[in-house]
Structure 1
Amino acid sequence: MFFKCFLLFFNLFSIIYSYKILVVNPKFGYSHVNFFSQVADILTEAGHNVTVLAIDFDPTIKHPGAYKANVITVPFTKDVEGDFDSMLDNRFLWTLSNSGAEQFRLMLKLINGMHRQSLRVFNDEELAQKLRKEEFDLGITETINIYVLGMFKVWGIKSYIAGYSMSLGNDLYKYFGLPFPSSFMPTLMSSSTDEMTYSERFENWFVHNFGETVMYFLKDKMTLQSEFDRKYGVGFYDSDNIIGDSSFLLLNSNPFLDIPGPKTPKMVEVSGIGIKDPKPLDEYWDKILSLRNKTVLVSFGSFAKAVYMPDDMKNGLLETMRKLKDITFIWKYEKPEDGTGKDIENLVISKWLPQSDLLNDDRLSLFVTHGGMGSTTELSFRGVPAIAIPIIGDQMRNSKLIERQKCGIIMNKFELADSNILIKNIKTILDDDTYRNNAKILSRRLNNRPIGSKRLLIEHVEFAAEFGRLDMLDLTSRNMGMIEYYNLDIIFPVFFGLLLFILVVSPKFGYSHVNFFSQVADILTEAGHDVTVLTINIDPTITHPGAYKAKIITFPATKEVEDDFANLIDKRLLWNLSNGGAQQFRLMLKFINGIHKQSLRVFNDEELAEKIRKEEFDLGITEAMNIYVLGMFKVWGIKSYVAGYSMSLDGTGKDIENLVLTKWMPQSDLLNDERISLFVTHGGMGSTTELSFKGVPVISIPIIGDQMRNS
């Protein structure tokens, strides 16, 4: 009787401390869906009332969204399904280059494909009403679905946690007040580790910054910021801060496996939550593992299907199996009925296999894997050596983790066509016990982590549900500008005080850019330094000299270069240009192509190089946009440099009595006069800064580029 009363009391206690949690889980990648399904199911097992909003997107993903939690499904329409089907050719994944640029282009397709379904969720009032009635205590979703964090507010959910089904992405650092350290932290789509060559560091830096630039133009498609502003008013939702405002950020990484890097107290690493308790193999698989002394498991995951592997790669893999007759090969293959490998006695092909239990069996000698985060985590926890053959996305980086732990080898997917390479790699691992020993040591570390991943997940979620937003964990740097964060306001005066000769390189391709670096040069000249400005003519409409107080070296444009730029843009186009990212991005590409020719002239001008070398400048300054100039500083013998970032009367209006037209005006002085009531501006960085300092109200009408953001 006493025991029954105790159980009743315990159950009541559990109910009192049970939270209602909504996990939003869009189906756009199996590993993503699976991670958040694990989160939901673990929280359900912990006694919480969990609902999963599963948003259909990829029709090939049959995962329900969760197995133990309640599930609400938002089905896709035919056009959304068509978007995804037309977006990806499964054969394309196998031939896709491993370079960051190629991977990035594929990611752009995913973003465009998700946009339509996101809008459906955003505008679904029936769904919103249904979720509001549930009165959830906490919301959880992935940062890729950033708009959902805004929807939590629409749905009446005050507290939320952001998550990421991979390691900490290079795009997330900024939201938490951290700079991305590209010198030693590879981007998610990088094939490098933390020890990079010069060229790898350059590629890593370029991929990160190019990605940030392109994502700026695509930002609205991911965040739906303009949709929120239009429907709920400006200020209701701030996509720039909403991720950083989350109580915690759940990461699918483990400090004993991943590359160490800067993190904040809000970041919780919970990789391994999906590792199942091992079960004995059934009779069928037990017999297969006993056929030979060595067994190799081959699986390329669910996204890049092996059935679509190009014939040369498939034949190379099959030839490897034929030649290594003393090894049993188990291959996860989607269509065994097509006859693939039917003549190979030591090959077992299966649509499905108990991967977790196979990896837990000591008779499994090696795992040939695509390096997905799920498989990488699983083989690491089980202590199985691996050959990683990354195909797409973060698999490049995950594979490096295996290599970094010295428990596996990385192989380029295109090398599958050569059976000799795969045979050599298999023999290297099977003949050298070092790989298996290292894998077992890694497994022991992961399984004996002082505080387990499930406990970390449950307790941080419960803490967030109880206390909500945790501002005390925020770094102050979240609210700092670049100058303050890097102490440039302290370093520059000290550093520049020791310098005598400074070269400022200022290409003329945008008036606000030229004007900003002119101001830099003139201020340094006023401070007593010997400053020379190399002004590179590009846009013939810019008559700014490049500086007013510093010395000037002018690099003229040829007629061909000037004509190229003049023909680049029809000025009327700017007024008709959409504020959408796609058109803006196309225009940016035209600019890049337009300045390329003049950049090559500077690069190849030996006379200019010799002239600058003779000056023996102590410091070079240019805009980060002119990245090649940073390399030219080295050519010109300048060892130290600073990169910066700025972002005609034809009778029009002659009949309007209250209109004064002028080619030039003392804008700064006018804005300083209290009789100026209002400034109607394009929102250029220069004008935005000036009116802000002068305290003049404004109507901003952005036309192009960063003017949208400045406004």
Structure 2
Amino acid sequence: MGAGDGLAAYSKGAGEGLAAYSKGAGKGLAAYRWVQERAWLHVARVQERAWLHVARVQGGGGLAAYSKGAEEGLGALARVQERAWLHIARVQERAWLHIARVQGTAWLRKGAGRVLLEAHTTRNRVIRVRFYVRDLMMMSEDKIVSELAQQDVIEAKFITRYSEGYTSDTRDHNAYRDMRLPGSVAVAVAVVVVAMMVMAVKTATPIESTQTTVASRILVVDLFGTRSHKNFIMAIAEELAQRNHKITYLTGFESTHIRPNVREVYIPNTNFFNSLSNLFTSNSWGITGDALRLMHTSCAQGLVSPKFQSIQDEKFDLVILNVVFSDCFLLYAYTNQIPVIYVSANQVQSMYNDLAGTPYFPSIGGNHFLDLEFPLTFTGRMFTVLVDLFAATWGYWQYIPSMDADLRSRKLFPDDVPSLAELRVNSSSLFITNSVRTLETPAMPYTPTVVHAGGIHCRPSQPLPQDLEEWAVGSGTEGFIYFSLGSLVKPSDMPEKYRSVFLKVFSSLEQRVLWKWDEETMEGLPPNVRLSKWLPQQDVLGHPQLRLFMTHGGLLSLQEATYHGVPVFGFPVAVDQRTNIKKAQREGWGRALSWEDLTYDTLRNNILDVIQNTRMRVEVVRRSGVMRDQPMSPGAWTTYWIEYVIRHRGATHLRCPAVHMPWYQLYNVDVWLTVVAVTGMLLLLVFWLAYGCLRCVFSHCLARTKSKRD
């Protein structure tokens, strides 16, 4: 059916179409809504050639005749909207819901729906519509005015009855049932409706969410993590504050920075990392052991601190806990019936899968701290299982019971409060992880309770301070290198033997070096090296003349390097830094060097190799594109799900039942053992029967042979 035939069908069925429109309390616009995503997206592409021409005709008096007494063109419709379209808005709960139920069936066979369906189904028919549009453009203004002038009286009656007849479904039906409009009027109405639809499509903007959440009061507990943990969690708090939520942020680090809608409450003597000794000379396992011995008491110290006691009577709508050593605050959330969300500044690990409410598969991911490469070998899977088993045993038999006992001995909560072990499994509504899901290797399965917020702290670079910008630009075509060991490590604690190697290598390079150092000066500093106590790291990483990022391998630093497309050269010091930088090396956009292997040759050769390695730069630029290619920004995505939990009072319907299942049921161990046992018994039975049959046969044969001999 061509465009002309389609419009003829529209004209012929105008009475039926408009009657059906009134029956459905707005069926004409139902067709409009249905085709808004499909047919009229094509119309929008040709609107500058067609409908803008129509608009010019309207301005010249084309539709002025259409509505006698109106000021000009669609002015009449603008006045009618106060009585008609606004009335439609009042009845839309009945109208649009009804349209949604029927729009895919009968309505598409009537009136304008026939033309729209023809335009949507095949490309050839769309082309025919285009030809009709071209013909419409070629139609003279006088001809349009003449066509419309012939229907002045009928149109005026139609508009009047259209606007006044919307008081009820019955009145609408009768008004339009009695109206039988000639074909030219139907064409004019079609032009007006189509023009309005195209205008709506043109002015439409993408909508991320139609849900709104009233500003809430949120308590964030981040007393026991590192400064990098705070950088990640504070980025989430700032996103929520921008949505007008009121944030109370408990922290173990002093801060003078003032953020709108964020109230930082510093609680001293709670953060273990404030008292760390020289990390260059300390043993990582020793640091971990010290932390494990202190953590169950440090959490209780936060609960009993005067500053928390002064705010604990305030009403909060949500509690966000850093997953590191914050479990004692579950009792506070439970007694006040507040939903809880856990936040991890790292990826989901085996020790937190129960908090995340997601199954864990050690055969795929491996233990994060073992630095294993996928696919795991049998040995790798064995080590992963043993380490995970040790962590689970220690957590549920030592850490949680000792913290629970400490809290109850202090009489902080009533005896009828469930144990911490129960609250850990039953309280968490979401688990926010600092990981970019599309960059995880291997890809892991997750339940809806896991929200990926990796890169939430990343942002486009801004211009550097003037003096630093001049220094960076002065590096010329060779560019400059940025060297930072993060916030956990104190650079001046670096042993002299390592510092002297860096200075010798830097002095031999053609590139300039920007070194984050915690002191004003340094003995023997080469002229091409600049020191600074603080630097806007993301602005430095986004500078076009940066050639290399030398880093300690912190997760946030590596995410920022990925975001800005900069290859890395890492010197891991403690915690998970070795795992992070080794992973970057395996993925082909970084290089790792242990401090024990640091010499003049190894350092210089690796620096030059990374700078000159085009494959590394291509890979990190590719990863940057993947990281940025998300349906929503990490901030918008995370904020949506946090507000979702607030709106749905904890959103317990998101939790996977696997969390409450014994491991042998979750992984069907009992089923497989039964299958193996039954199969083994059947095989034994078959073997026994076969053995018996063969024995009988041989016995019979031997007996016959013996009888013949006798």
TM-score bracket for the superposition, by shorter chain length: 0.5 to 0.7
Q: Which residue of 2 aligns with 1:360?
A: 542
Query: Using the alignment, how far apart are the partners of 1:275 and 1:153 within structure 2?
Result: 34
Q: Which residue of 2 aligns with 1:614?
A: none
TM-aligned CA deviation for residue 266 of structure 1? 0.1
Counterpart selection for 1:335 from 519, 528, 541: 519
Q: Say whether 1:441 aligns with 2:622.
A: yes
* Contact 1:146–1:222 (8 Å) recurs in 2: no
Structure 1 residues 157 and 177: alpha-carbon distance in aligned structure 2, compared to 1, 3 A threshold: closer
Structure 1 residues 435 and 15: alpha-carbon distance in aligned structure 2, compared to 1, 3 A threshold: closer
TM-aligned CA deviation for residue 381 of structure 1? 0.6
Q: Which residue of 2 aligns with 1:194?
A: 374
* Contact 2:365–2:444 (8 Å) recurs in 1: yes
Structure 1 residues 346 and 198: alpha-carbon distance in aligned structure 2, compared to 1, 3 A threshold: farther
Instruction: Provide Cα deviations, 1:418-443, integer angstroms capped at 9, x if missing partner.
Output: 12112221122112211111111111
TM-aligned CA deviation for residue 164 of structure 1? 0.8
Counterpart selection for 1:71 from 254, 263, 266: 263
After TM superposition, list the pairs within 5 Å mapping 1:18-37 onto structure 2. Answer: 18-37=215-234
After TM superposition, list the pairs within 5 Å mapping 1:224-239 onto structure 2. Answer: 224=404, 227-228=407-408, 231-239=413-421
Query: Using the alignment, how far apart are the partners of 1:302 and 1:239 within structure 2?
Result: 33
The residue type equivalent to 2:448 in the other structure is P
Answer 1 or 2: which has greater strand percent. Answer: 1
TM-aligned CA deviation for residue 64 of structure 1? 5.4
Q: Which residue of 1 aligns with 2:427?
A: 245
Instruction: Provide Cα deviations, 1:293-337, integer angstroms capped at 9, x if missing partner.
Output: 13111111011122111222222222221222x111111111243
Query: Using the alignment, how far apart are the partners of 1:462 and 1:275 within structure 2?
Result: 22
Query: Using the alignment, how far apart are the partners of 1:501 and 1:306 within structure 2?
Result: 68
* Contact 2:570–2:591 (8 Å) recurs in 1: yes
Structure 1 residues 389 and 529: alpha-carbon distance in aligned structure 2, compared to 1, 3 A threshold: farther
The residue type equivalent to 1:309 in the other structure is M
Answer 1 or 2: which has greater helix percent. Answer: 2
Q: Which residue of 1 aligns with 2:318?
A: 138
Q: Say whether 1:315 aligns with 2:507.
A: no
Q: Say whether 1:474 aligns with 2:655.
A: yes
Counterpart selection for 2:532 from 347, 350, 353: 350
C-alpha RMSD over aligned residues: 3.2
Larger Rg: 2
Structure 1 residues 66 and 216: alpha-carbon distance in aligned structure 2, compared to 1, 3 A threshold: farther
TM-aligned CA deviation for residue 120 of structure 1? 2.5
* Contact 2:431–2:451 (8 Å) recurs in 1: yes
The secondary structure found in structure 2 opposite 1:329 is strand
Q: Which residue of 2 aligns with 1:432?
A: 613
Instruction: Provide Cα deviations, 1:609-632, integer angstroms capped at 9, x if missing partner.
Output: xxxxxxxxxxxxxxxxxxxxxxxx
**Number of equivalent positions:** 473
Gaps in structure 2 of 5+ consecutive residues = 1-209, 689-710
TM-score by length of 2: 0.61
Q: Which residue of 2 aligns with 1:123?
A: 304
Query: Using the alignment, how far apart are the partners of 1:367 and 1:192 within structure 2?
Result: 25
Q: Say whether 1:271 aligns with 2:454.
A: yes
Counterpart selection for 2:276 from 78, 81, 88: 88
Counterpart selection for 2:243 from 23, 46, 55: 46
The secondary structure found in structure 2 opposite 1:232 is coil
Q: Say whether 1:377 aligns with 2:573.
A: no
**Percent identity of equivalent pairs:** 22
Query: Using the alignment, how far apart are the partners of 1:249 and 1:180 within structure 2?
Result: 14
Instruction: Provide Cα deviations, 1:374-423, integer angstroms capped at 9, x if missing partner.
Output: 1011111111011122221222232244224321112223222x121122
TM-aligned CA deviation for residue 250 of structure 1? 0.8
Q: Which moved more, 1:205-214 or 1:65-74?
A: 65-74
* Contact 2:565–2:623 (8 Å) recurs in 1: yes
TM-aligned CA deviation for residue 228 of structure 1? 4.4
Q: Which moved more, 1:16-25 or 1:169-178?
A: 169-178
Structure 1 residues 63 and 108: alpha-carbon distance in aligned structure 2, compared to 1, 3 A threshold: farther
* Contact 2:482–2:514 (8 Å) recurs in 1: yes
The residue type equivalent to 1:460 in the other structure is W
The residue type equivalent to 1:265 in the other structure is P
The secondary structure found in structure 1 opposite 2:320 is strand
* Contact 1:146–1:243 (8 Å) recurs in 2: no
Counterpart selection for 2:666 from 466, 471, 485: 485
The residue type equivalent to 2:517 in the other structure is Y
TM-aligned CA deviation for residue 124 of structure 1? 4.9
Structure 1 residues 177 and 275: alpha-carbon distance in aligned structure 2, compared to 1, 3 A threshold: closer
TM-aligned CA deviation for residue 24 of structure 1? 1.6
The secondary structure found in structure 1 opposite 2:427 is coil
Instruction: Provide Cα deviations, 1:87-125, integer angstroms capped at 9, x if missing partner.
Output: 6321xx22456xxxx54x422312333444322333358
Query: Using the alignment, how far apart are the partners of 1:225 and 1:254 within structure 2?
Result: 37
The residue type equivalent to 2:579 in the other structure is R
* Contact 2:327–2:420 (8 Å) recurs in 1: no
Instruction: Provide Cα deviations, 1:602-656, integer angstroms capped at 9, x if missing partner.
Output: xxxxxxxxxxxxxxxxxxxxxxxxxxxxxxxxxxxxxxxxxxxxxxxxxxxxxxx
